[in-house]
Structure 1
Amino acid sequence: MGNYVSCALASPASKHSKPIKIISQTGEIKEFQQPLKAAELMLESPNSFLVNSRSLQIRRRFSALNADEDLETGNVYVMFPMKRVRSVVTAADMGVLFLAANSAARRSAAAGGVKVLPEPPREEAPAAPRLSLEDVEEFSTPEFKHRLSMCRSKKPLLETIVEEPIC
């Protein structure tokens, strides 16, 4: 009796399985319900490689997927240009990923019947969301804050130069 319940609840071919999401280099998000191999996506865009979003960490190298790997349902994968395959993940890479996820969340909220607040009138400049570096532990160290303070531009002092007469 207990075996029946456990087998009935764990059906792998469930219709309610989460889709595989792919974020392209342009920020477009594609969803796939059927099983998929990384090679199929790499054939569509030959000058790019695929990375699981869970493996992305700032200041670590990209861990590109092999072409024969199966993509797991419910995971989010990101396409990057092939010239970046040996490089390190930067904060800008993660920012692009977050912006794509944010725009997708807004689109799905609007399509799903969730009440979305109206946009402010075009006359006013909308306040852009700002990323805070305080939340990322690598950027909250005193050494980084010191570097940041030294890099900020300083306004030059414009004092009049007093010239002495030549005698």
Structure 2
Amino acid sequence: MGNCKSMPSPQTQFMQTAKVMFFNGIMKEFREPIKAGDIIGHNSGYFLCHWDCLHIDKFMVSVNSEEELELGDLYFLLPLCKLQYVLSVSDMAAMVFKANSAIKQIISSR
């Protein structure tokens, strides 16, 4: 019997990171634990929202600054003015399109 070590696929590697979709269309991956406040601290005037908390016709919810980002999850860095903003279908579609494009680019570059 031989020893064998499998390499993680690009998709598996992608799931092992917390991803933040920045306001400028760039997605950054974090492999190490990081708190929301660390990201917000470098981006004043913005807040982090977990993808699972985005609901059409609902207000956006900010991630607590003390919360660690979860590996495999997606977050959006949005302007503070959007915090009191009800998410529309077109807003959600634009965010999903932007995130999908960034994800495809990350996976294809691996």
Give the TM-score range, shorter chain.
0.7 to 0.9
Q: Which runs of 4+ in 1 moved over 6 A?
A: none
Residue aligning to 2:104 = 106
SS of corresponding position for 1:85 = helix
Tell me how far apart the structure 1 counterparts of residues 91 and 108 of structure 2 sit (CA, whole Å).
Answer: 26
TM-score (norm 2): 0.79
Q: Which residue of 1 aligns with 2:33?
A: 35
The question of whether the paired residues in 2 share the 8 Å contact of 1:29 and 1:100 is answered with no
Please tell me whether residue 86 in structure 1 is matched to residue 77 in structure 2: no
For structure 1, list consecutive stretches of 5 or more residues without a partner in the other structure: 1-14, 113-167
**Separation in 2 of the partners of 1:25 and 1:77?**
11
Q: RMSD of aligned C-alpha atoms?
A: 2.0
Equivalence for 2:47: 49
Alignment of 1:61-76 (within 5 A): 61-76=59-74
Bigger RCO of structures 1 and 2 (CA < 8 A, at least 6 apart): 2
What letter is aligned with 2:95? L
Separation of aligned partners in 2, 1:62 and 1:108: 26
Partner of 1:163: none
Q: Could you tell me the TM-score, scaled by structure 1's length?
A: 0.54
Which residue does the alignment assign to 1:25? Answer: 23
- The alpha carbon displacement at 1:68 in A equals 1.0
Q: In structure 2, what residue type is equivalent to 1:95?
A: A
Larger Rg: 1
Identity %: 27
CA positional deviation for 1:101 = 2.4
SS at 2:71 equivalent: coil
Contact 2:14 2:72 in 1 (8 A): no
Partner AA of 1:57 in structure 2? H
Number of aligned residue pairs:
98
